[in-house]
Amino acid sequence: MTNNSDVLGQLRQEWRFTSHTTEARHSFREFRARHPEVRLEGLDDLGDVVDILEVRGGRDVVERADIVSALLQEAGDTQIHRALLQTMIPGIVSVCRQLRFGEGIVEDPSETVGVALAMASELMVDWAGESRQYAAPDLLSALRGRLRRWLLKEKVARASFSAGDHRQGAAEEASPLLTRLQSLRGSPYERLAQLTYARVFEGRSLREVAADDHSSPVALQKELQRFAVRFLV
């Protein structure tokens, strides 16, 4: 069974490679040129930026806040976005811990972590280009609200699926969604429509659906959220 350490370990392993690529070095140079005020002289790549953002990285609280604020402004760049997500991971896990990793609602705590990572990533996309003095606290506060609402919806949905008498009623209430999913049959988005159906109408967990799809829960959650925003909302 996947656990939190596995999910976070995969991200750390991926970051060790991606933070030193040619693309990451190019994005770093562009970032440093646009934000001389955060004083990144002597650093080589985005891996170095994430390193100095650690508590023992040599920068004080104000300096770290300024760097994170600058990263958010440039988060439209894929490499900068990834660096910001990496440095926010401890805070994201802290938010999950505050919500007890969805205990009593979600079977696998790693699913909550995966959803939180995807939500944080989406927030960074939504807020890219904004100038926020307290970017990190703002992101975590917004994430906490979104994750709490997701857990509440999961709790209601799972209770409905566990009560056989309510399944038909839930399906009828969601008929516009069902109609929309059915309309996507034969389209390039049929796969995501079927996976959404499995989550919403069959009550299957993200981990189960991802396993059948041969994808990671984190990646699949992001795909489903983007699909929902584009076609279902």
pLDDT exceeds cutoff 70 at 159? no
Q: pLDDT tens, 33-56? A: 999 999 999 999 999 999 999 988
What share of the chain in percent tops pLDDT 70? 87
Quote the tokens at residue 110.
């790693």
Mean pLDDT across the chain, nearest whole number?
85
Q: pLDDT tens, 79-138? A: 999 999 999 999 999 999 999 999 988 888 888 888 898 889 889 989 999 999 999 999
DSSP one-letter string for 66-110: HHHHHHHHTTTSHHHHHHHHHHHHHHHHHHHHHTGGGTTT-S-HH
Flag the least confident range among 50-59, 71-80, 147-156: 147-156
What is the rounded CA–CA span in Å between residue 81 and residue 71?
Answer: 7
pLDDT exceeds cutoff 80 at 180? no
- pTM for the whole structure: 0.70
